[in-house]
Amino acid sequence: MTTDIILASLHHLLILAYAGIFAAEAFLIRPGLGGQNLKLLARLDSTYGGIAAAVIAVGIVRVYFGLKGWEYYVYYWVFWAKMGAFALMGLLSVVPTMRIVQWQKAAGSDPAYRVPDGEVAAARTFVVAEALAFAFVPVLAAMMARGVGY
């Protein structure tokens, strides 16, 4: 049981960190983006990817070493729906990440660089879609914890 509590706690703390980093990124991707905010956004985006990888790694360990056992997860449609929502978030984050890298390169050659508002708006579209996908994760997690639809 101790292992399960540790893994569950770590998994939840990582998800909270993931949400916080995501919120900070969403806040920074707005018109007038440039300078220090662009540098901060690039660091946050890098951290975001690392935390996402840690969430997945701890989740996999939790499936195999947690109290419920891997069978609970493998045959449970809600688990796969939650994984699908998380995968969708990952796919949606690719475009903003690629844009951030491009913006950083542009800012490297021009310290006064400001991201064009149209590019910010395009990136925000993906961030909003990612937020919508993320909204399903805690709902599905609550369903899993209660065995809904199992």
Query: Over the chain, what is the mean pLDDT?
Result: 96
- Whether 1 shows a pLDDT value over 90: the answer reads no
Return the percentage of the chain with pLDDT > 70, whole number: 100
Residue ranges of domains in the chain: 2-146
* Eight-state DSSP code of residue 34: B
Residue 68, CA distances (Å) to 38, 48, 63, 83, 143 in order: 43, 28, 8, 17, 14
User: Which pLDDT tens digit goes with each residue over 111-149?
Assistant: 899 999 999 999 999 999 999 999 999 999 999 999 999
- Answer whether 61's CB lies under 8 Å from 73's CB: no
The residue among 95, 92, 97, 116 whose CA lies nearest residue 106 is 116
Full-model pTM = 0.90
- CA torsion angle 16 22 27 30 (round to 10): -170
Residues 6+ apart with CB under 8 A from 70: 63, 64
pLDDT band at 10 (very low <50, low <70, confident <90, very high): very high
